[in-house]
Chain A
Amino acid sequence: MIKVTNLSKTFISHTKEPGLKGSLKALIKREKKSKLALKSVDLEIQQGEIIGLIGANGAGKTTLVKILSGIVHPTSGEATVLGFKPWERHNEYRRQMSLIMGQKAQVWWDLPAMDSFILLKEIYQIPEKIFTDNVEFLAETLMVKNHLTTQVRKLSLGERMKIELMAALLHRPKVIFLDEPTIGLDLSAQRAVREFIKSYQKEFKPITILTSHYMEDIKELCPRIVIMKEGEFVYDGTLSQIQRLLGEEKSLSVTTKEKKFTISVPRSELSKKTAELFSTNEVLDLNIQDPSIEDIIESIMRNGMTNR
């Protein structure tokens, strides 16, 4: 299980004004800038659960994933994953955990995937029989059996991501961090990766934290979502709950002579708001509908839960 209490992380960086003058100034005196990437967050995830961590760029998703996988130290607060403090980097913990970053390769670029897998077998001390079975199972499920002996750099992006998934799952981790695993993939590759994650989760029941900017990933895979905004959790609950909670609103897509815009309006204020729109604007087109899950989440990411 994962338990996070009051976890915060501040990054310190230096500021520099543009140009040579700014560089000279920075040489003598540097202005420090601190950025609170995580603000006292709390979270609990049970074994077998998969959660979707969503938020705009810079919301703190990757920072949280990096703390929980032991890459960076938090500034304050506590977190335990499978009973370990991740940043203490116990081998026992690292043997049970895996991280996949969609934007960073972990397998040897110039070598066939199988070579990297053999190295991972040594690193994680995977017994021969389990290793062979896992390679067989994963290669079959991901349909990459024919690519294991091809140099990784010669594979397509989608095939490479499947190889990355294989590399990350060879040691059957109990905790998996998936940081944008479908980024840059075409629609069919995205679907294939999603299908795989879904069936893997069902069969092996690890704790999985998935961050993604693709709503399809979240809708397909995560019954529970955590929405982050500026380092804080603004929503932690199920997808269906959020739809119910916000289902009392209507989405109005308005086209006037000057512009096009969409607003959310409580159901009870629908007639009042529509009348107001017609009296103050020259409305060319008006479309009233239930807001999509994408609209709801985007709105929460932008405005939080209370200020929507």
Chain B
Amino acid sequence: MKRYFRLYLHFLQFSFSKAMEFRLDFTFRIIMDFIYYVVNILLFKVLFLHTNLIGGWTEEQMMIFIASYLLVDAINMTIVATNLWWFPAYINRGDLDYYLIRPVSPLFFLSLREFSANSFMNVVLAGTFFIYSIASYSEPFTLFQLMGLFALLINGFFIYYCIQMLMVIPVFWTQSPRGFIDLFYSLGIAMERPDRIFKGWLRVLFTVILPFALIASYPAKFFIEGLEAIDLLHIASVSIGLGLLLFFIWKKALRSYSSASS
């Protein structure tokens, strides 16, 4: 564990050294992401001009939810997104070869090798918005609620990572991941909606099969109105299930890896 932590510190160091070489890209990305955040917040602000509640939440409760998914998204963009973007190329070009011969988990290497230092400012922006939305929340809350929100958001990031990985791993067999990745982006929007709006089979889809609703909506719900023990059990079992599924599919994918010819 300590070794992996030290390795990750090296990845961080390398990524910052690289990012600083490309200053224009560094600035441009920050501006683009800042616009994305403002648009997200404004969208809901406009909706609240016409209604008092969305998915059962008031405007300030909604801001906590928005801040939650923006924070998970920013962490994802910074820590894993770049790596997963390159994943299909690594598999198809046979670059995975060098990861497989090292005495370290190749999944760790492939998922975390590139820390997107350019996106790091987004974490700061999203984090600031998150703190602001909590600080300006008018209802009283306990430290337990706050810690629970944090823990569930970290778990939400894990769920988000697992879903993304499960969408790119088919590239071992299909060569092109486009279909699955497009599906991920189309359905991923569900993360940005309160889970209460999903009924029937859509609810099963977004809370069990592709559990986008567990990423930010359930954690926000825990903070705002509390969750039943059965809901917490649901989050735990779906997270463990996803983790195990990823582990087995990854093992199977490595077995069928044929590398690229030289």
Identify which of B52-60, B96-104, B153-161 touches chain A.
B96-104
Most A CB atoms within 10 A — which of B14, B94, B262? Answer: B262
| A104 CB to nearest chain B CB (Å) | 7
Q: Are the CB atoms of A71 and B257 closer together than 8 Å? A: yes
Given contacts A104-B94, A119-B10, contact A180 B262 (CB under 8 A): yes
Could you tell me the distance between the alpha carbons of A108 and B114 in the complex, rounded to whole angstroms?
Answer: 11
Q: Is A97 among interface residues, defined by CB-CB distance under 8 A? A: yes
Residues A125 and B97 in contact, CB atoms below 8 Å apart: no
- Whether the Cβ atoms of A119 and B7 lie closer than 8 Å is yes
CA distance A94 to B94 in the complex (A): 18
Interface assignment of B139: CB less than 8 Å from any CB of chain A: no
Q: Tell whether, in the assembled complex, residue A73 and residue B255 are in contact, meaning their CB atoms are under 8 Å apart.
A: yes
Q: Taking the nearest CB of chain B, how far is it from the CB of A30, in angstroms?
A: 12
Determine the residue in chain B with the shortest Cβ distance to A112. B17
**Chain A to chain B contacts (Cβ below 8 Å), 21 pairs:** A11-B258, A62-B261, A62-B262, A70-B101, A71-B100, A72-B259, A91-B103, A94-B101, A94-B102, A97-B101, A99-B97, A101-B262, A104-B95, A106-B98, A111-B17, A111-B18, A115-B14, A119-B7, A122-B3, A122-B7, A179-B262
Question: A72 near B7 (CB under 8 angstroms)?
Answer: no
> By the criterion of a CB under 8 Å from any partner CB, how many residues of chain A are at the interface?
33
Could you tell me if B103 and A101 are in contact, using CB atoms closer than 8 angstroms? no
Whether A124 contacts B103 by the Cβ 8 Å rule is yes
Chain A residues, Cβ within 8 Å of B100: 70-71, 89
Residues in A with CB closer than 8 Å to B258 are 11, 72
Distance to closest chain B CB from A128 (angstroms): 13
Chain B contact-residue range equals 20 to 34
A103-127 interface code vs B (CB 8 A; 1 in, 0 out): 1101010110001001100111100
**Contacts of A111 on B, CB cut-off 8 Å?**
14, 17-18
Contact with A along B1-33 (1 / 0, CB 8 A): 001001100100110011001000000000000
A108:B104 contact, CB within 8 angstroms: no
Given known contacts A89-B100, A94-B103, is B18 in contact with A110 (CB within 8 Å)? Answer: yes
Query: Interface readout for B152-196 with A: 1 if CB under 8 Å, 0 if not?
Result: 000000000000000000000000000000000000000000000
A302 at the interface (CB under 8 A from B): no
CB atoms of A71 and B10 under 8 A apart: no
Distance in angstroms from A173 CB to nearest chain B CB is 10
Contact with A along B233-262 (1 / 0, CB 8 A): 000000000000000000000010111011
